Structure formats: structure tokens, C-alpha cells
Amino acid sequence: MEEFENQELFKKNNIKNTKHRNLVLDVLKESQFPITTEDIYLKLQERGAHISLSTIYRILDVFANKGMVVKAIISEGSKAMVELQHLEHKHHLICKECNKIVAIEDCPFEEFAKALEKKTDFDITGHKLEIYGYCPACKE
Amino acid sequence: MEEFENQELFKKNNIKNTKHRNLVLDVLKESQFPITTEDIYLKLQERGAHISLSTIYRILDVFANKGMVVKAIISEGSKAMVELQHLEHKHHLICKECNKIVAIEDCPFEEFAKALEKKTDFDITGHKLEIYGYCPACKE
DNA sequence: GTTTATTTGCAAATCATTCGCATTCGCTTT
DNA sequence: AAAGCGAATGCGAATGATTTGCAAATAAAC
Ligand SMILES: [Mn+2]
Ligand SMILES: [Mn+2]
Ligand SMILES: [Zn+2]
Ligand SMILES: [Zn+2]
């Protein structure tokens, strides 16, 4: 049935239902937090899947173009890595010290969007929000 | 006086006031919207400044570590380019079709942050927010 | 099953970012 | 104002991430 959900999603987005897209999508679904292309690659390797890194890049491109995932730079630190957002709508609170990530369920933006649409005459379809600070352990 | 403001900012952030940091900061200040490292490089070239691309990378790293600028991936499209946010607190509304960018003055997040701090016990220091949709001309 | 367009693996190419080291520069101390 | 010293810079090379070309495999449609 996990498979079935995937298939639906592919159909809805007009892309072929391939073995590799299923693998990548499964990893994305399981992942609580944004992950890198490399992370996905390694996870699939562990599971014994035979998939090439460039295929994952291509799949993520397709997913991103279809709006199924979102790219972002998360850790503020030295390396600004490209990552993927989870499919559900949620945001993250990231510790600038230890990089701990906490998922936020609420989104303060929903109501604001309506007003903004009126003001700007845009058709607003989505947003990215990431929140930074220091976690309980790291703030002193 | 522009120079003076820069100098103040450098002092406040405990970094040396160098010719190149001034140049880069000026470009950032002028720029209404986020720009890439390369953009800055080209702008400075046009002005006849002699500066190396790696120096700009290094300066932007310093600025980012001091919280003077923020890195993000803006355009959702094919190339996920790393960019820099303007110094003032503002957000952007980006057209997914024509890439038009409109600056948003209000921020819906301020109040939400307080509640979130209480709930998570984080010390929240900042956030990134980008909004996507279709501009008046492109929505149909 | 056959057909056809799409997807994939693999290796090579490209692009962005970082690094090493010699030189220059900014700030502090005489 | 000169000297000293650590930090910043230029340049080219190295690294790392992402993209691309092309032949082979696969999925969807017939
Ligand atoms: Mn939201
Ligand atoms: Mn804000
Ligand atoms: Zn922490
Ligand atoms: Zn538009």
C-alpha cells in the first residue's frame, strides 16, 4: 500500500512509475528531516539497491520540478549543503551550534498568505520557512 | 557616510575594515534582492575593482558567520543557486514562472517565535522565509 | 508481444567552492 | 610615523558536487 500511494503520486504528477523513483520516494517518506542526495544514495546502497548517484540527482530534479520536494540550504555553518524537504508541510528549527533539528508542526504563514495575495495580486502556492537558534543544551 | 556605516558594522562584528569587504558590502546594500557570489564578482569587475572570486567567497563566509547575510536557495527551477539575503529583515515573493521577485516588508513570524520559544525551549535567533507563487502577469 | 519514448548506468565533463602558500594590508604598539 | 604581527588577499590548483552524453534497459501504450 506504500507502493500504491507512490503510484498515485506519480500518476497525479504525470511521471512514470519506476522502480528507482519508488526507492527514492520511500527514503524521502521515511526521513523525518531534509537529507542530501548522497544520504539517499548511501541509504539505498545499504539496502542493497543498485542505483546510480546521477539517477538520484535526476529523480530529485523531476520531483522538484513537480513540486514534490523542495531544495534548500539548511545548516548555516561552513558547508551549505543542498537538501530536500520532506513531502508533508512542516518546518524545522535548527540549532546553530549542534545542528540538532526539530520539526515544527504549526505554520504561522497560512493566514498571512491570504492577506498577501490580496495585497500583491500574486497566486501564492507555497513557501519555505526555516528557523534558527540555539537548542536547550547549547544556549548558555 | 556609506563608508562610515560599513565601518561601524565591521567594528560591531569584530572584523577588520578592509577595502574588499567594503566593496562587497556596498554591492549587497545596493542589491534589492539576493544575489550570487558570481553576481557580486561581475558587478565589481564592471566597476574596475580588482578582486578575486575566492576572496568574495571568503568574505561572504565571514559575513554569514557573523549573521550579516544569509545563504539560501531561491529559484525553485533547474539550477539551485546559492544566494545571499539582503541585510535588512525582509522576505521575498518569487514567481515560479518568470522569476520575478517582490520584496515583502511584513513578517508574520515575529509573534509566532515567542510561542515557539516557550514550547521548544530554544533560543530563537532568526529565520528564513521565502514565498512562491505566480505573479499577476503569469497566473492564468 | 511489439513499439516508442523515457529512464538508467557509467564515465567523463562541467561547475561551484575551497585550499595552499607567498604577498599585502590593517591595526596596534612603540 | 615606523615597525611588528596576525589577518586578509591573489592566484592557481585541488576538491567536491552536480550535470551530461550515449548505449542499454525499462515502462506505458498499443
Ligand atoms: Mn509553512
Ligand atoms: Mn521574517
Ligand atoms: Zn544545539
Ligand atoms: Zn511571473
Judge if A9 and A75 occupy the same domain.
Answer: yes
B80 shares contact with chain A (CB less than 8 Å): yes
Residue ending a domain, choose from A69, A84, A99:
A84
Looking at residue B94, what DSSP letter applies? E
Judge if B52 and B27 occupy the same domain.
Answer: yes
pLDDT score of A1 more than 70: no
Judge if A114 and A56 occupy the same domain.
Answer: no
Q: Where are the alpha helices (DSSP H) in chain B?
A: 2-12, 19-30, 37-46, 53-65, 109-120
User: Facing residues of A124 across strands?
Assistant: B133
CB contact at 8 A, B109 and B127: yes
Length of chain A: 140
Judge if B52 and B116 occupy the same domain.
Answer: no
Residue ending a domain, choose from A84, A103, A120:
A84
- CATH classification of the domain holding A110: 3.30.1490.190
- CATH classification of the domain holding A66: 1.10.10.10
| A4 or B28, greater pLDDT | B28
Specify the pLDDT at position B3.
58
What mean pLDDT is predicted for residues A117-136?
90
Angle at B85 between CA B91 and CA A92, to 5 degrees: 65
Domain count for chain B: 2
B106 shares contact with chain A (CB less than 8 Å): yes
- List, as ranges, residues 4-23 from A with C-beta within 8 Å of B: none
Residue with cell 567567497: B57
| A32 or A135, greater pLDDT | A135
Judge if B80 and B95 occupy the same domain.
Answer: no
pLDDT score of A108 more than 50: yes
Judge if A67 and A100 occupy the same domain.
Answer: no
* Sequential DSSP letters for B28-66: HHH-SS-B-HHHHHHHHHHTT----HHHHHHHHHHHHHT
Judge if A95 and A52 occupy the same domain.
Answer: no
- Chain A residues closer than 8 Å to B84 by CB: none
CA distance B75 to B96: 8
Tell me the backbone φ, ψ of residue A61, rounded to 5 degrees. Answer: -60, -45
Judge if B130 and B68 occupy the same domain.
Answer: no
Judge if A63 and A46 occupy the same domain.
Answer: yes
Specify the pLDDT at position A81.
54
- Please list, in sequence order, all residues whose beta carbon lies within 8 angstroms of the beta carbon of residue A140, skipping any fewer than 6 positions away: none
Judge if A44 and A15 occupy the same domain.
Answer: yes
Whether CB of A22 is under 7 Å from strand C: the answer is no
Specify the pLDDT at position A122.
95
Could you give the count of Cα atoms lying within 13 Å of A35 in the half-sphere of its Cβ?
23
User: pLDDT tens track of chain B, all 140 residues?
Assistant: 455 689 999 999 999 999 999 999 999 988 877 888 999 999 999 999 999 999 999 999 999 888 888 877 765 443 445 566 667 778 889 887 787 888 888 888 888 899 999 999 999 988 888 888 899 998 87
Specify the pLDDT at position A75.
60
Residues with CB under 5 A from ligand 1 (ion): A 107, 109
Quick one: residue A112, left, alpha or beta (phi over 0 = left, psi -120 to 50 = alpha)? alpha
CB contact at 8 A, A135 and A98: yes
Q: Supply the range of the domain harboring residue A124.
A: 91-139
Quick one: A24 exposed, middle or buried, by C-beta within 10 A (0-12, 13-18, 19+)? Answer: buried
pLDDT score of A72 more than 90: no
Judge if B14 and B38 occupy the same domain.
Answer: yes
Number of Cβ atoms within 10 Å of the Cβ of A97: 15
Judge if A33 and A62 occupy the same domain.
Answer: yes
- Read off the pTM: 0.77
CA distance A64 to A66: 5
